[in-house]
Amino acid sequence: MRPLLLCLSLLAILCSCSSPQPYSPRFVVTDNPPFEIPEGQDYTFGYLEVPADRAEPTGDTIRLPVYYFRSRNPDPRPDPIIYTVGGPGGSTMFNAPYMQYYQYLDDRDFILFEQRGTKYAQPHLACPEWADAMYRSGLPGVTEAEANQFKRDAAQACRDRLVADGVDLNQYTTRAIAADLADLVTALEIDSFNLLTISYSTKIAQVMMRDHPEGLRSVVMDSALPLAANYDEESTGHLMAILEQLLGDCARDPACNQAYPDLKERFLAFLRKASAEPLEVTVNHPETGNPELFRLRGEDLIAVFTNAGTGGASNVPREMERMLQGDYAAISEELAGLFEGPGAGDGIGARLSVWCAEEYPFADQSVVERETHRYPEIEGLSPAVYPAEICDIWSVQAEPPRENEPVTSDTPTLLINGSYDSDTPPTWAAQMQNYLPNSFHMVFPGWKHIPTTYWSNPCAMTVANAFFNNPQVRSEAPCFEQLDEVSFVVSE
């Protein structure tokens, strides 16, 4: 453990006794981290203690785990990077054992910050009821009405249990998370720092830039979700636009077009037909061996694209062609996974609180309904992450209107996207540049969501690290300049 951080922890504890402030955030070092760290990596683990309700600073506290990794450089730069992941509801702690792969530690310290309500936070807002409902909803023979009832019952049961345990679900918002992060900076007496955020956590970065800019040197937003974006109105439109982009790229590629002629027209027609007359696929249950019949609509079959990561994007046209030729092996493999059983529902309560307070209140439900039926290829696929009835059950307070407005900031910012990202499309980041005058936008051709986590090619991490080292200029990392357009697979 780092002696300096131990001293800081003790100092924070002492200061809390005499400070005129209502409270002082505490970083309490412990020797019982959730993950073992490989030999040779110097680190400190501890918990940040902050108010559960920031309107009641002397009330109950929550504990948020933090790993502080020391740079491999004997003379590190003075401004650490603080990293937190997306979801909402995802845990940052899972990254802890793999620090040897993080280039950032070659130059400066690196801090993993866990958001309130997620898996290793105390309390953890798990919803195993929701995980079970999602599992049962995906099984063959379950009607849409039955699936919706499973989810309603699960949301109510999870809410009732958490509230009975003393959890105030209104306190799990991006604003509260950003305040927690600012308290971490205070508790560790960090003068200057950088933020590395991905997907949902880019919203935390935006709130930090607006509400807690002190000491914030630079920000990387990988796959940005703008505060001003209405995800629940736009997601199906983005999905179809990016799908058509990929199919158009295949048509413009001579080899792909020759191998899969007219793929765009044929595949979209296939989806439209399945939406009207569901495709029947039989899968043997992996445990009983009994055949199970699934009826798949276009909204289900689009998974051949949505489930593919960056490494699989080049295979998407080939998988589409196989499907068109009646080869459903890939579909069957995906469906077999539905029998594996429910997950743990980690962080789902935190996810519901964030989404139902920050996205649902600003979505026009008439637009959501229109978009649900706008595309015959995916007829019935709602753009909303959670149906209105689920957020009504969760019943948290809506965030103020400013949480749905763009953030203006001079903080040096790097926006990173994959060109095939249908979750947080590059167009969103491009729009954000209107409010971030010191920003750069880099789009990785043929890549999908969160490029900095694509371990088969760490180029996006290299680009991000170069930016942290010199945030005044656009990164000129050779690996990025050498990237080609996606090369589609056209042979076995």
Q: Which domains does the chain have, with CATH numbers?
A: 3-121+170-228+405-481 (3.40.50.1820), 231-339 (no CATH)
Residue 20: predicted pLDDT = 42
Residue 286: predicted pLDDT = 86
3-state secondary structure of 138: coil
Q: What is the 3-state secondary structure (H, E, C) of 55-86?
A: CCCCCCEEEEEEEEECCCCCCCEEEEEEEECC
Residue 33: predicted pLDDT = 96
Task: Identify the DSSP state of 33.
Answer: -
Helix boundaries (H) for 138-200: 144-164, 174-187
Residue 13: predicted pLDDT = 39
The tokens describing 193, both together, are: 């720092």
d(CA 260, CA 283): 27
In which residue ranges of the chain is pLDDT below 70? 1-21, 492
d(CA 90, CA 31): 23
Residue 100: predicted pLDDT = 96
- How far lies 119's CA from each of 40, 103, 124, 195, 337, in Å? 27, 26, 5, 21, 23
Where residue 53 falls (left for φ over 0; alpha for ψ -120 to 50; beta otherwise) is beta
Q: pTM surpassing 0.75?
A: yes
Report the DSSP beta bridge partners of residue 124. 117
Residue 265: predicted pLDDT = 98
d(CA 339, CA 380): 24
Residue 51: predicted pLDDT = 97
Backbone angles phi, psi at 464, to 5 degrees: -65, -45
The tokens describing 385, both together, are: 């992450």
Residue with token string 């992450």: 385
DSSP 367-416: HHHHHHTT-GGGTT--S-SS-HHHHHHH--PPPPGGGGSPPP--S-EEEE
- Are the CB atoms for 348 and 167 separated by under 8 Å? no
Backbone angles phi, psi at 116, to 5 degrees: -60, 140
